[in-house]
Amino acid sequence: MKKIEVVAGIIKYENKILCVQRGESKLQYISKKFEFPGGKIEQGETKEIALIREIQEELDIKITIKNEYMTVEHQYPDFHLVMYTFICNANSIELKLNEHISHEWLYINELKKLDWAAADIPIVDKLIANG
């Protein structure tokens, strides 16, 4: 089974968290699901450098990484995902969707209203539990 390592940002701006929606995919279990933005770590990159690069490429915004939040391991039908997440701050609410089909800035207590990718659900649950 293929193992994929990725980074994701829990990006905050004025008490709201950025949630982005994936496009349509042949993999039904992630098609059009919401997720925390990020992507794959490239050869020679640290997790932090990968996250800053991915956020810049996908959303055209600048972030400041505050701290590592949690690591999620999830077994999807076609691959094993290891996702390292970080709490980040955005310098603006303005962004450009280069890969996603929509986005929302939500308060923590609103996160459950979205249809999240399975690997992102433990992050949502921890954010809600910690208030």
Q: What are the structural domains, with CATH classification, of the chain?
A: 2-130 (3.90.79.10)
Please give the C-alpha separations between residue 70 and each of 26, 87, 93, 125, in angstroms, as whole numbers. Answer: 28, 9, 24, 12
DSSP classification of residue 78: S
2-13 and 79-90 as β-strands: parallel, antiparallel, unpaired?
A: parallel
- Classify 52 as helix, strand or coil: helix
Inter-residue contact 91 to 64 (CB < 8 Å): yes
The pLDDT, as a whole number, for residue 6 is 98
- Chain segment 21-45, per-residue pLDDT in tens: 999 999 899 999 999 999 999 999 9
The pLDDT, as a whole number, for residue 27 is 86
Considering the entire predicted model, what is its pTM? 0.96
* Residues in the chain where the model's pLDDT stays below 50: none
